[in-house]
Amino acid sequence: MDSDYLKNKHILLVDDEQELLDMVVSILKEEGFFNISAAKNRKEALSLASASKPDLAILDVMLPDGNGYQLMEQLRQDNEYPILFLTAHGEDEDKFKGFGLGADDYVVKPFLPKELIFRIMAILRRSYKEENPLVKLCDSEIDFDCAEVIKNGEHISLTAKEHDILAALYRNANRIVTIDALCEAAWGDNPFGYENSLMAHIRRIREKIETNPSRPVSLITVKGLGYKLMIK
Amino acid sequence: MKSIPKLIRRYVSILLLSCILLFALNFILLAAFASRQTPNSSPWKTAEEAADALQQVNGSEYSLPEPIAHELKSSDAWAIFIDEETKQVKWQTANLPKSIPLSYTLSDIASLTRGYIDGYPTFTGKAENGLIVLGYPKDKFWKHMWPSWDYYTIARLPKLVLLVLAANAAFIFLIYMVANSKLLKSIRPIVTGIQNLPSGKPVYVNEKGLLSELAFHINRTSEILQSQNNQLQKKETARANWIAGVSHDIRTPLSMVMGYAGQLAEDTDLTDEKRQKAAVIVKQSKRMRNLINDLNLASKLEYNMQPINTKKENIIAIVRQIVVDYINMDIDDRHPLEWETDESLTLCPVTADKNLIKRAISNLIQNSINHNEQGCKIYVKVAVNNKKCSIIVSDDGIGATDEQIEKLNHAPHYMVCDENVTEQRHGLGLLIVKQIAAAHNGTTIVEHSPYGGFSVKIILPIQE
């Protein structure tokens, strides 16, 4: 997936430990990000944020002059942008607290550079879509905004359920998405007993996106587990 | 409190039984006493004997043979003989009181037969041509003067006796209940108190009444138990907090080790050898990270400090997600995962804490990966048998010996055993799996895998 357009996003980094800040900055720089502000406490973070609006904030939960949750609320007073927590608290309660207040994701220390970058890219991709993001498949293209598939120059519209299922597959493009997660995306919580309906929808999606629906190359079945959307 | 009615029943039955036995005993004693008394001293019999023995001598003179006369004398009795026709006394003993009349009418005779002459109890015997009347001292006998019962009463007698007995029993029961209700009332809170002691909750019994001393001791016992519990709880909390604190404090420095080592391992400017070294650091710091996570969770589960948020979950969906996560992570191709669950099985509802179950299954998959560096296939399966859901993670790797499997199934982990640890025990991963299964009322079975390696089965109860 081409995500270079995300690399110029402004990232605000807040952690009370200088060495950790340095390390995260170096990880981000290595990945190609260059617009990075680093703050050691809440005050610095707020002044940096007001000087230049960040596109993503990475916050530590424990700060010398307050906690990260308060900082998140303050940062979001003026502008709505994604926030990722970086913390040494591995407990689930903290996780729920963070998400309850509207955090976008949560990375528990210690972490590998790859893990952090993966989460950051996922959040950025979700929050900042490319202009006219046509998703290129092997035999067709998907236009999520118009809910249609373009195959051989022909525009085929998607139903709401097909759109939801494809969107869920696209969010995890080239990776397996479980049957249960797809049912949840299409039918909401506790999606028990929709497996057969899902199969029917998948069949219809294939008719729209594949040249040969009985030998799919873009929407692949992983037996017993789920489906995978292969994009270019 | 089931024992109290039982106790009452037992005591009442003992009471009733002893009453009946007592009645029977009394009756037997009475009968024995009465039967012993009858043969010698019945005055009616003596009168009969005297009547038979009375002899007429010289036409109009009568006399009583010596043995009978002596017997009468010894019991202070007097005797008269009334002639049948004249109703005159024709013979009398020498000790006849002056107040006894010497001539009788028919009604006099009827009355004396039934009762008394001038207060002397009299008994009659039929002699030749007349009647012998014996009179005993006034305080010697009491006579029942109207000894007649109608047949109706006699026919009902057995019923009547039973009725009286039943009434007696009811009466005794009533007395018992009244007398004991107070005792029972004071026993009940004490029994409740003792029964509540093992629950661990504070117990207070009102220290009043018959058994106040017992109540006092129960209350003291409860206080001691409470303070011991609190201390234990405090200690356990302190220990769990200590472990949580240490694992928290290690996280930030370890982040730095992991982060930089991770960067170096990917740095293409470095030689392969140097990158390899960095990769080893990454791998070992990952192990440390797992250890920290495991240690924290294991101690929290062990000391019941891990909040368990259960709700109805489809176990298949949870396990499927973990398998897919592992496949998506695509760590290496040496540990391919196989989904073995029957495709017709789509729903397996279990009341579970999703995060903990995820943790347990990840631990099992990770275990297979860690113990088989050379690579192995990992098979994951969910099955339903007899209202139980089993999650089976097996591999075709190096496996374990029978002895090791026996130990894994039965020996306690060093973290939760009180012996000195002299040999290496299994890691925390499996302990956590066991703890999580136990927290869901489930069990864990370690066995040989049908694929040749190691296999762990978590069995959880299915929610209807």
Q: What's the pLDDT tens digit per position in A127-161?
A: 887 666 788 888 899 988 888 999 998 999 999 99
Query: In this structure, are residues A179 and A200 in contact, taking their beta carbons and an 8 Å threshold?
Result: no
Angle (CA) A154-A157-A163 rounded to 5° is: 130
- Regarding an ipTM greater than 0.90, the answer is no
C-alpha–C-alpha distance, residues B361 and B433, integer Å: 8
Residue A94 clears pLDDT 60, i.e. is over it: no
Please name each of the domains of chain A with its CATH number.
4-127 (3.40.50.2300), 134-229 (1.10.10.10)
Query: In this structure, are residues A72 and A63 in contact, taking their beta carbons and an 8 Å threshold?
Result: no
Q: Cα distance from A20 to chain B (closest Cα, Å)?
A: 6
Pick the CATH number of B309-461 from 3.20.20.100, 3.30.565.10, 3.30.365.10, 3.60.21.10: 3.30.565.10
C-alpha–C-alpha distance, residues A85 and A12, integer Å: 12
Closest to B370 in 3D by CA, of B401, B393, B391:
B393
Q: Cα distance from A173 to chain B (closest Cα, Å)?
A: 10
End-to-end CA distance of chain B: 32
User: Is the CB of A178 less than 8 angstroms away from the CB of B317?
Assistant: yes
Cβ-based contacts of B327 with chain A (< 8 Å): 176, 222, 225
User: Is the CB of A19 less than 8 angstroms away from the CB of B256?
Assistant: yes
Residue A35 clears pLDDT 70, i.e. is over it: yes
Nearest CA in chain A to B326: A176
pLDDT at B296: 83
User: Is the CB of A23 less than 8 angstroms away from the CB of B260?
Assistant: yes
Q: What is the mean pLDDT of residues A216-226?
A: 92
Query: In this structure, are residues B349 and B388 in contact, taking their beta carbons and an 8 Å threshold?
Result: no
CA A142 vs CA A187, B93, B287, B425: distances in Å: 21, 149, 42, 55
Closest to A10 in 3D by CA, of A60, A69, A54:
A54
Selecting from B247, B285, B355 the residue whose C-beta is nearest the C-beta of A92 gives B355
Interface test with B, best of A94, A108, A116, A176 (most B CBs within 10 A): A176
CA quadruple A161, A166, A167, A170: dihedral, nearest 10: 170
Tokens 């998948």, residue located: A202
Q: What residues in chain B have per-residue pLDDT under 70?
A: 1-4, 37-41, 330-332, 414-426
Closest to B225 in 3D by CA, of B254, B182, B196:
B196
pLDDT at A230: 92
pLDDT at B2: 62
User: Is the CB of A181 less than 8 angstroms away from the CB of B262?
Assistant: no
pLDDT at A104: 85
CA quadruple B319, B321, B323, B326: dihedral, nearest 10: -140
Interface test with B, best of A225, A227, A228, A230 (most B CBs within 10 A): A225
User: Is the CB of A90 less than 8 angstroms away from the CB of B247?
Assistant: yes
Query: In this structure, are residues B304 and B262 in contact, taking their beta carbons and an 8 Å threshold?
Result: no
CA B231 vs CA B197, B217, B303, B378: distances in Å: 17, 21, 13, 45
Q: Is residue A106 classed as helix, strand or coil in its secondary structure?
A: strand
What one-character DSSP code corresponds to residue A5?
G
User: Is the CB of A114 less than 8 angstroms away from the CB of B262?
Assistant: yes
Beta strands at B120-127 and B130-135: parallel, antiparallel or unpaired: antiparallel
User: Mean pLDDT, chain A, as a whole number?
Assistant: 86
pLDDT at A93: 54
Interface test with B, best of A112, A197, A221 (most B CBs within 10 A): A112
Cβ-based contacts of B244 with chain A (< 8 Å): 91
User: Is the CB of A178 less than 8 angstroms away from the CB of B324?
Assistant: yes
Q: What is the mean pLDDT of residues A96-118?
A: 80
